[in-house]
Chains A and B, each alone.
Chain A
Amino acid sequence: MDDKDRELLRILEENSRLSVEEIGSMTNLIPAEIEARIHALEESKIIRKYTTVINWEKAGNAEVSAIIELKVSPERDFGYDRIAERLSRFKEVRTLRLITGTYDLQLMVSGKNMQDVSRFVSEHVAPMDRIRETATHIVMKSYKENGNTLFEQQEAERLPYSF
């Protein structure tokens, strides 16, 4: 892991579809070296996955999301890990984090509609052992996801020439 690896990661995080030739011209590394480095980063699970940021609402397939906060009684020897890992197996759970503050776990859950989400929470999450309290917040609108703003921004006016 060195500065060149970190530079590759920054480039890929922003656009993972660039070819090794394109990355090569930007970094002055030869394609074979880039391939080797990326392979190593994948093997060591620093690169977890290549994915796409999609505005599903625009694609006519809007989902309903909710933030679910849970108070959990930790288990002896395991703390929050076992219950958190169990919860993360549900495909509805998109993000799951252990947090400080009033609640312990925070989940981002999504489903086709409101009923879907509330059924998931009431049937699968709330009844679990060790879950003492839940709070559900339905997401009304998303303005930014993972560093990507989802609203249209006006292009700033730039002169075609300036010295």
Chain B
Amino acid sequence: MRNFVSDRAREIPPSGIRKFFDLVMTMDDVISLGVGEPDFRTPWNICESGIYSIEQGVTSYTSNRGLQTLRDALSARLASQYQLKYSPDDEMIITTGVSEALDIAVRAIVNPGDEILIAEPSYVSYAPCVTLAGGTPVPVECTEEDHFRLNPDKLLEKITPKTRALIINFPNNPTGAVMKKEDLEPIADILSDKDLLLISDEVYSELTYESSHTAAATVKDLWERTITLNGFSKAYAMTGWRVGFLCAPKDICDAALKIHQYVMLCAPVMGQVGAVEALRSAEDEKTSMVNEYRLRRNMFVAGLNKIGLTCHVPEGAFYAFPSVRGTGLSDVDFAERLLKEQKVAVVPGSVFGRGGDYHLRCAYAVSRKDLSEALTRMETFISGL
């Protein structure tokens, strides 16, 4: 029989943590700092609204774009919170998580052979999405010296006549880095000058600990060349509800909508109903989750530095990204031995692309008790090296 797997599917490398996953499944008593999602339950009023809507028989497709009430509420919220202006009627699509929003955004703009720049270390799905759309992912490294922010000079170096767009994600998974307005301005100048598009994944926008988030599309004249992606997964502890959104100028939004209507039809209606409730009345709960993450971050990052894993202070998301250079081990070896010997699961930084090697992604979305136990185990591990 022929091999029916397409070349494109084959081109996608296997997941960098498959072996860790298999290993952890055979072990008990593991503390996992490897989970990229909130440890909180979805606030109950959101759950309740979903349950109620099901009881009321709200179980059908919604319009392709998503529930009008959700788009209206979202449009108002983006305007009041970030001065981000998107029309709910033709500049916004409710998607099945940021995951889908990313996919349709990339497919809406990429022609075969286009180069798409990706600020790395980055979330693992960007490069495969670009590959699947027929584009070529090109990493731009964000270095520790730059506090993992995107350096304009490094960006310029990677731009060629084939470059079409740049994908960024701040606050960042896996580094926790944040780009403020003044950091984004020189990037905006380059994008305008070279006539490039920006895809900005802002799914951690609500999780910032030192200053409030700057939406990329509000910087200089980026709006007209930006696709903003965001969602409810992280801010409201709603990962399983699968709701995100894509906002973009009308022509791009129309193109993305064509793809969305054929591949997804619409985002799950219960998720959309929950999202309406999240915007309406979950602000206090969101704030207390953010406060708790901040406390955990402070204690965890202080603890890492104390045991000799130097770590810049991550200003957003819920990841610490310490360096293991001082230990003489690679990130993959460190992570594997730490799991086997002390039963702490972390993700090796090299999984997240350029600039990630010799680092670990430690998600602090776990209880303080587990965080401090993890620190104790990590200290034991390091002192035994």
Contacts and interface: CB of A to CB of B under 8 A. Distances in A.
A159 B21 CA distance: 9
Contact of A25 (B17, B35, B298): B298
Interface in B290-307: 291, 295-296, 298-299, 302-303
A26 B375 CA distance: 14
Nearest to B372: A22
Interface residues of A, number: 15
Contact of B20 (A7, A26, A28, A161): A161
Interface string B27-45: 0001010111101010000
A10 interface: yes
Contacts of A28: 298, 302
Q: Which residue, B20, B25, B30, B295, has most C-beta atoms of chain A within 10 A?
A: B295
Nearest to B306: A25
A22 B372 CA distance: 10
Contacts of B299: 22, 25-26
B178 to A, nearest CB: 18
B298 A161 contact: no
B298 A26 contact: yes
Interface residues of B, number: 29
Interface in B307-323: none
B293 to A, nearest CB: 11
Contacts of A162: 34-37
B303 A160 contact: no
A25 B302 contact: yes
B41 A158 contact: no
B124 interface: yes
A163 interface: yes
B25 A25 contact: no
User: Which has the most chain B C-beta neighbours within 10 Å: A7, A26, A160?
Assistant: A160
A161 B37 contact: no
Given A161-B24, A161-B34, A162-B35, A156 B295 contact: no
B296 A160 contact: no
A11 B125 CA distance: 37
B123 interface: yes
Nearest to A153: B41
Given A25-B299, A26-B296, A27-B298, A160 B21 contact: yes
Contacts, number: 52
Contacts of A11: 295
Nearest to A159: B35
B296 A161 contact: no
B163 interface: no
A126 B295 CA distance: 49
Interface in A101-138: none
B292 to A, nearest CB: 9
B173 interface: yes
Interface string B348-376: 00010000000000000000100010000
B345 interface: yes
A153 to B, nearest CB: 9
Interface in A1-44: 7, 10-11, 22, 25-28
Nearest to B346: A161
A161 B35 contact: yes
A21 to B, nearest CB: 10
Contacts of A25: 298-299, 302-303
A7 B32 CA distance: 27
A160 B298 contact: no
Interface string B145-169: 0000000000000000000000000
Residue of B30, B34, B296 most packed against chain A (CB within 10 A): B34
Contacts of B39: 158
B30 A160 contact: yes
A161 B347 contact: yes
A158 B125 CA distance: 20
A7 B298 CA distance: 13
A31 to B, nearest CB: 13
A163 B30 contact: no
A163 B124 contact: yes
A158 B35 contact: yes
Interface string A59-83: 0000000000000000000000000
Contacts of A26: 295-296, 298-299, 368
A11 B36 CA distance: 25
24 contacts: A7-B291, A11-B295, A22-B299, A25-B298, A25-B299, A25-B302, A25-B303, A26-B296, A26-B299, A27-B298, A28-B302, A156-B41, A158-B32, A158-B37, A160-B24, A161-B17, A161-B20, A161-B24, A161-B34, A161-B35, A161-B345, A162-B34, A163-B173, A163-B347
Pairs of residues from A and B, 7 with the lowest C-beta to C-beta distance, nearest first: A161-B34, A26-B295, A25-B299, A26-B299, A160-B24, A25-B302, A163-B124
Given A25-B303, A26-B298, A27-B298, 12 more contacts: A10-B291, A11-B295, A25-B302, A26-B299, A156-B41, A158-B35, A158-B39, A159-B35, A160-B32, A160-B34, A161-B347, A162-B35
